[in-house]
Structure 1
Amino acid sequence: HHQKLMNCKHRRYSVVHLQSYLHGGTSSLLSTIPTLVVFPVYKTVFRQQIHNSTVHRAVGQLYKEGPVKLYRGVVPPLLMRTLNGTLLFGLQDTLLRQTSLTSQTVIPTSALPALAGFGAGLVEAVVFTPFERVQNVLQNGQNDHQLPTLRSILVRLRSQRLALGYYRAFMPIAARNALGSSLYFGLKGPACSAVAGQGLPPVASSFVSGTLTSMAISLALYPLSVLVANMQAHVGGETKGVMACWRMLWESWQQSVALLYRGASLVILRSCITWGITTAIYDRQQKHSG
């Protein structure tokens, strides 16, 4: 009878684990609809990060390139967003359950979601750095002639060693993703409880908590995103290390934090939309399956 009970419990945990992956993928897939809508915004930010230009100049560049090229590079973020949600939410839930079972006295329970998020973020960086690399090469208009198709980019990256090809800028991506997901999962619950205390319904509370959390994270980690975009946008040529790239960037931004954060408001807008929707849908699915 005890064995039957254990088997039943194990099956129930397996289902819960699979549901977390499924719900993460579903919520992220649905949030790709606004990702499609705001992709031109994202591309404008990317051009600002690469060319240190104003919004007006970046929009002018995209307008001149035409509507066909406007959505060049949209496939990797759509694919990445769905797979990313599946892995991030599912893996965080799995790690959270494992750490809850093994570290009942060592680590405070309130810190476990953030710790599991940190681990999930590291795995996410390993899996998705190649996607981000391809996306950034595609979005850089300077590569259009030399690397006109997705296939030509893949062939070129494959010909280089991993650290310069698919895994260029892995260290800043790992730092950004691990810190970002740690903060997201650590802050999401308390933020949701605080918002719910103001009398908002559960879905609205989840949306607002996801929005506020992502806003704080985007602002804090924005310099790392700028560094990654600049390191990954080009293929070949002189390949500097992380610190050398950062020093060069900092000098090109005239050692000004205001210039470094040029375009950050658009990133906040995009994060608010996508992470607000993702959080609301995921929390609702988890609640109904629980």
Structure 2
Amino acid sequence: MPSNILWDREVEASVERLTQAAENEYYNPYKTFDWPESIAPDAKWLSTELLSVHGTDMAAELTEDQTRELGKWESVNFYSLNVHGIRELILEVVNRIHMPGYEVPTRFFHHFVGEENEHMWFFAEFCLRYGGRIFPDLTMAFPRGAKMSPAFENFIVFSRILIFEQIVDHFNSRMAADDSLPETIRAINRIHHQDESRHIAFGCQLVRAFYDRLTAIGDEKELATAAEYVQGYISLTLQQLYSVEAYRSAGIPDPLGFRARVMAQPHRAQVHQQIAGRTYAFYRRIGVLA
């Protein structure tokens, strides 16, 4: 975005409000959480309705122990996705701090990067303490190309961040409120939800502004590609919730085949609409999706 492009008042007001909120609500994550030696063997790690098999025929195939193990490893998968997704988005935002054209959002970028770094730490800490590992990164790389306009690249970058944050927040808000989960799990989801509410509000403003810029340029091919990419990235993010590694770790035979069967269940399409409903509504509202 060239430096002579002005941000609208809505973006400026949002940056001011969210920066003030970030400063007022600051906390030290390294002293915030109580990390017990272990999670109780019979404890739930994931809310029942958030299990990938919830509402499917496959759920009846699992023993009680397998279901509990699946919750554990799908929890590790979820936090691992956060670790990898956060690392990638931090790099993209850092590349824009104090660069020409980003004078207005840079003020909040500093809070965003600091908070996301702390989120990455406590999600990784949970995985390593209680799961013994972080699942590998299977995310799709950011698109790069010589013909990509700056407006299109910015729209895609901040759309990826926003889509990821909104889908993650669906899980955070529900686990934070689930009193059947251990307090450590509720706490990390509660804190993340608190911070992400600011990041999502910020992301919506940036994505809207970048899409307005893209629309003003009027390149029909880029507009069509933007819509296609948004739809594809939402689908890809949802697919990552079905982890072959989680199924394998839970002792489920033929984890790859099991994943395919779970994803093919009609009920899961309805669940996807619930998880990504806010995201679809936003992109329809600003005109990206029909």
Q: TM-score range by the shorter chain?
A: 0.3 to 0.5
Which of the pair is proportionally richer in helix?
1
When normalised by structure 2's length, the TM-score is 0.32
